[in-house]
Amino acid sequence: MKLHDLRPAAGSRRARTRVGRGIAAGQGKTAGRGTKGQKSRTGASIPAWFEGGQTPIHVRVPKLRGFKRRFRVEYAVVNIGQISAYAEAGRFGVELDAPKPARGKRGDHPVATVNAEALASAGLIRDLAKPIKILGQGEVSQKLFVAADAFSASARRKIEEAGGFVQVLAPEREAEATEGTAEPAAQPEAVAEPEAVAESTKTTAQPEAVAETAATVDEPTKPRRRAKSAAAKAAKARESEPRESEPQESGEPQQPDEPKPSPPGAASRRPRRSTCKTPSGDGA
């Protein structure tokens, strides 16, 4: 065995079919493209979504408007009529233990407790992953104690009219979620012993008493500034006023001020007359 004797396994390699090489080759003339048409020409490329000119599928299909809320809550829905029918049939296990009441007496019926586990065991819901909401379709014929995450107004009214009770579990689940993130409660400070408290009050009371006695001793030694009286301030204000503004105290009448003499040449100045002539009315 030499290097030039090596060959691939039989059937693993297949030669490329050469088209357009005459009739004898099997793929001559049309070369497997058929006769005429867009796809038989060279350079033909039709998009995958092209439908020959008719309205394509992505235009024919109507578009859904709006949006879905990101934080929406999807409930597992159960009607109150189904719950009442299952309770009457004993699917929740209440009627098996309790004695059968007299006919026509609603008050003697036992109260059936319905929660998520009871609904799942009875087959009304598939799993416990989703929160449960009770709707009001159907009639309630006996007392029911229903615990769920949400209730419609009609379901709540029908349960209470039949003498049953309603318990909403949504606040409890929120409280459980917030318990992990709540800050730890501060530990109460230790209460001091009465003897230590008495000693601390004695030590604090002594410096205060010393400070009070020191203040009473220093009070007579402090100099006091004399406050100026109102009369002294008024006299000082009179002295500070200018003498020229004071009126004459003598009985002689005051002489009016003489007018100041005008500068020389002021009286000889007269306004000049205008030399321009105004046109007369007759046009002369």
Q: What confidence tens digit (pLDDT) does each residue in 203-222 have?
A: 554 555 545 554 444 444 44
pLDDT on residue 253? 54
Using alpha carbons, select from 15, 42, 45, 44 the residue that is nearest to residue 30: 42
Residue 125 lies in a domain: yes
Query: DSSP letter at 90?
Result: T
pTM for this model (two decimals): 0.40
pLDDT on residue 263? 58
Residue 277 lies in a domain: no
For residues 44 and 93, the model is more confident at: 44
pLDDT on residue 271? 58
Residue 94 lies in a domain: yes
CATH number at residue 96: 3.100.10.10
The four Cα atoms 54, 56, 62, 65 give a dihedral, to 10 degrees, of -130
Q: Residue 137's pLDDT band (boundaries 50, 70, 90)?
A: very high
User: What residues are paired with 235 via a beta bridge?
Assistant: none
Number of domains in the chain: 1
Mean pLDDT of 80-104: 73
Interatomic CA distance for residues 154 and 146, integer angstroms:
14
Q: Is the pLDDT of residue 191 over 60?
A: no
For residues 225 and 77, the model is more confident at: 77
Mean pLDDT of 32-50: 91
Domain encompassing residue 137: 76-175
Mean pLDDT of 232-256: 62
Residue 252 lies in a domain: no
